[in-house]
Structure 1
Amino acid sequence: MPTVAVVGGSLGGLTAALVLADIGCDVTVHERSPSTLEARGAGICVLNETVRWFAEKTGTSPDELCSSTGFIRFLDPRGGLVHERAHSYRFSSWNTIYRALLSEFPPERYLLDHEVTGFTDHGDGVELRLRSGERRRVDLLVSADGINSAARQTLLPDVAPRYSGYVAWRGTLPEAELTARTFEALSDAITYQVLPDSHVLVYPIPGPEGSLEPGKRLMNFVWYRNVAAGTDFEDLMTDREGRFRQVSLPPGASRPGFVDRLRADATERLAPVIAEVVTGVAEPFVQAVFDIEVPRMVLGRVCLIGDAAFAVRPHAAAGTAKAAADGWELARQLVAHDGAMEPALAEWERRQLGLGRELLERNREIGDASQRHGTFTPGDPALIFGLRGPGC
């Protein structure tokens, strides 16, 4: 099996490293951060692929890492019930899943402060250049370095993120700070409200230390709000220090006027129980919503996985699952082809390009239905989360 360097130690990179090492590859992860990662406590819906490693390879049950809900609910602006269906989801936080994956990987193979500044593909292997000046040769480079992937920019310079026309305001609030009425209304469901050219959702995720006990968790909100490209977008994404941040504004970075407007709009337009969550978050943050689509995922001995290849809108809750699926499928093809790189990578690329394109288009349709066309309908089966289709 090949020697592999995984560039990027986030969820997708870690999953790829684990599954490739499991089939006998010599794997190291190169993470440019000098310390282990943190991600603002953001909530994620946990599809099966995201926690497949725990389900198949460890004694840790995915249920130990996730909160769960039993219903999907839609509310009107007064808090009245518009639609309800019984449907179970698992939710977690990025930090919870990251810490659990990291604990499974040998620490001496997870190299912090190891930024890869360049590489040369020699046909039969790739030479990495590190910021430290070190050079290292591997059989395969797996680029898991996210939406701003340096490998993608080098190999596919014409591919760039395309702004969707809207952003996601996000934040978490301890359930202990909710009124009893709001906790009762939200604790067992993912709860939506549809607004003109917008929608908002809230759901419970594990607490900061991973607590799954109701009342000790966090309530997570995501509110999709249209922001025109150009001056309006640049104004919003300029932080308190005057720096423009194209992709995200971390907690505390948004200028007060924008936070004040978010809270005022929440009070005026949202169902009272949802508004209580949004207005209660001390430091909401912003993530711009982009699409990225690549024509290739394999270029010589370099492959692109996760957001480095396809950055998809969040509406199918499948971004982390797609990144994990890329790693699992790469391992499967290497085994199927007895470690022969060229046929394994060719078949892997064919399969994952198809999956990425379908997921990208499905998320575009859902996002545009909400933010542009006004056809985002409570109870529409197409809105059920899933990697390969609604509920799949």
Structure 2
Amino acid sequence: MKTLLAGGTVISMDPAVGDLAHGAVLIEDGKIIEVAERINAPDAEMIDASDRIVMPGFVDNHRHTWQTAFRGIGADWTFAQWAKAMHGTVKPHYTPEDVYAATLLGRLEALHSGITTMLDWYHVAQGHPHEDAAVAALQEAPARSVFCLGAGWATPISVEADIRRVRSQLDGDGLVTMAWGLRGADDTGIDTLARELKVADELGLRTSLHTGGDHRPIDDMHRHGLLRATTTFVHGNGIGDDELRMLADAGSFLSVSPDVELKMGFGAPLTGRALAVGLRPTLSIDVVPSVGGDMFSTMRTAFSAQRGLDGGLRARDLLHFATIDAARSCGLGDRTGSITPGKDADVIVLRTDDLTVFPVTDPAGTVVSAGHPGIVDTVLVAGRIVKRDGALVGVDVAPLKHRLLDSRDRVAAAAGVPLDGTWSPQE
């Protein structure tokens, strides 16, 4: 089966392909076959991309999707309040059905906004049925996902058996793959962290780890030989410039969640400091109880915050962080993240005739400075059209919304949580 996207402005994110003011992208059997100004493919299904921008789908490499049902409830919370609310108060009442409903709607939301690849950083840690529910939800969503299985919040409990169990189910290269959400040495001790990294290497799993603070966590791992090119470090606020350089030297990745970091008091995002030592940052949403779930607003916050600090960054840098850099952090740089012949066709088509972005003079600048989910017209994942004319294809959203509302109301009632905007957890 062939699909031809014709007549659009192509932002490929591949230096060898470049950008095309008026170009075409030919897709066959899920792969990008050709990118050129004009392509003759009379046997292909043609999608008219006139007045559209064609670019790779976004990659969100860190989102706790199980919290989707409580969107917006923590807009005013500090980090301590979020931890108390989500982990200490509502999580104990989550059933597998609650995890499933939140994960599925959260993944569809991300897809709807143009995020074709997403790492779901799971730390519900309520048992095998909860894990299986999260995996099932990701498999139902027509998107590329990484199930990043972690333990509960700041718990020393081993999850090695869980990792091996789920790994046996996701031991392939399908749309849903697996990673390991590690805890830091502060939670488990350096010996446990070393053992878990060894197991991850044995199983061929990439890892993700929340870190930060001024107690030299990266230096500690460096001294013990635990830094890996297969690990993404999340946040990192408070670590030293020399520690960032250690990450760069090891080939590790950094995931910046600018909205959460600024709102919850983590400190300034590390975007510019990372670049200064040769470490390419990537971008992630984190938690939707506190921030928006789309990559447009995330790019904008990261851009504005860094420009306010030192005037650095250009709009295209943000697109790079949110596509090819993040894809590489997930170990998927050879499959997605750019419009490159031979890669899977994870592509989004953005409207340029919408009044909120019209007229488009600088396509990259417009996407970063003015883009929003409302301009995401078409989305393809591995060549499959999963959103067309602004609507998800083959998804009956209404009953899924009802399931999520029922889940939220049940969990809130069981936890004694008000849903009238007055909840302010004690720190």
TM-score (structure 2 length as normaliser):
0.23
Higher strand share: 1
TM-score (structure 1 length as normaliser):
0.24
